[in-house]
Structure 1
Amino acid sequence: METKTMSKKRKVINWIFVGIMSALFIMSATMKLMAGADAEIAKNFVKWGLDGKLMLIGMGELIAAILFLIPRTSSLGVLLLSAHLGGAITTHMEHGEMFIPQAIMLLLVWVANYLRNPEMLASFTKK
């Protein structure tokens, strides 16, 4: 009986976690997709040498967030969000900017997916 309660609690916590994370990524992608040339984010992309890539990165982020949200495609979403956040971390590091928020988001993506799919790390425990 205790196991079922924990399992239900885990599912609820996971859906809250995944929902919040997905909402943040969808909001970020939407901001990129709707940004005008004079928007702060567009100016940052120019500063980072990514002029003209805002729409491409925004679409990639949106697709990855949607895949992450859907349980059946969450593993692909995790991989795409990991690549996206890895690029963000590298870009911020290269320009001497703070990269800790992106690193924390990356960790939270993996924690959320682990709560949903604990077997995702099974290959590390195989003999």
Structure 2
Amino acid sequence: MTTPTEIATRRAKVRQLAQGGASSREIAAQIGVSKDTVLRDLAKPEALAHTRAALRARKLAQAEQAVSQASAAVQAVIDARPSHMITDDATARRWCGALRAAADALAEQADAFAEYYPCATA
């Protein structure tokens, strides 16, 4: 494991080489780290925090949209009332299987959510 002192020393070396005009790839090869490590070492800490915050915000928005779409899809199925349709046996089996599979997958997600956020599901 890399110690904080080793990290600070590496970051100083990365900055020194970058100021000398070396590319990220050249720096990485010279000091034996990945190009991504060099880029992280060159980034300002507040920029990294901003990037992490932006990633969390995007993931939160994606989850919000997914839950909203799932809820809308459930309502669309309820409104369509497929269980009251006259259809052939193969279609009925396919619909029933698809609905059960979707319900099982959603139930797994709800259970995982309840485990992680017990107070939200009480």
TM-score if structure 1 supplies the norm length?
A: 0.37
TM-score if structure 2 supplies the norm length?
A: 0.38
Relative contact order (C-alpha < 8 Å, sep 6+): which is higher?
A: 1
